[in-house]
Homo-oligomer: A and B are copies of this chain.
């Protein structure tokens, strides 16, 4: 029984994540959540007494925690961060294109949608993004950067990634993700004291094909 209860709760989280990825927070109704989870509305309010906003908050926390795990997965194979970052952006571009330009993670888009209108949910999104910044900074420190440089780079990278996802999904083009990844490689050089002239891939160079 305890297992079933847990499974039903998880189904609501998965349903909320999927629906918010595809259509955002406001468009997602309690009716859609119960239909997608295959569970009655009483069950939703049993697990989430505050309703839709509470399911959404839990879904953002859960998917946010999974999403940041991609950072080491995508970057560990590269010895040098100035190669790792554009390669990770190129991998994201490839996944995005292969998926038919699907939204990968609801956190950034839902945050953009609700930051002015849903204060409680904005705080949850801020919590998730702060944890991304902390975990990502720790990863870059393990990769040899100073804490200050690591945090600066991580925040610039996360900004570029969230914005490039929106541009790439909207334009149906991998170009923004590739351009954003190349820009960050130059930033790594500048912050690690390496001159960048002649090292940055030329505009239009396909980092994806080059590194994968």
Contact = CB atoms under 8 A, between A and B. Distances in A.
B116 A101 contact: yes
Q: Which 3 A-B pairs have the closest CB atoms?
A: A163-B163, A152-B203, A162-B163
Interface residues of A, number: 67
Interface stretch (A36-44, A51-59, A103-111): A103-111
A183 B179 contact: no
A130 interface: yes
A156 interface: yes
A5 to B, nearest CB: 31
A193 B164 CA distance: 25
Main SS of chain A's interface residues?
helix
Contacts of A200: 187, 190-191
Given A129-B171, A155-B167, A158-B163, 10 more contacts: A24-B113, A112-B165, A126-B171, A156-B176, A159-B160, A162-B166, A186-B196, A190-B196, A190-B200, A191-B200
Interface in A147-197: 148-149, 151-153, 155-156, 158-167, 169-172, 175-177, 179-180, 182-184, 186-187, 189-191, 193-197
Contacts of A182: 152, 156, 187
Contacts of A197: 190, 193-195
B101 A170 contact: no
A204 interface: yes
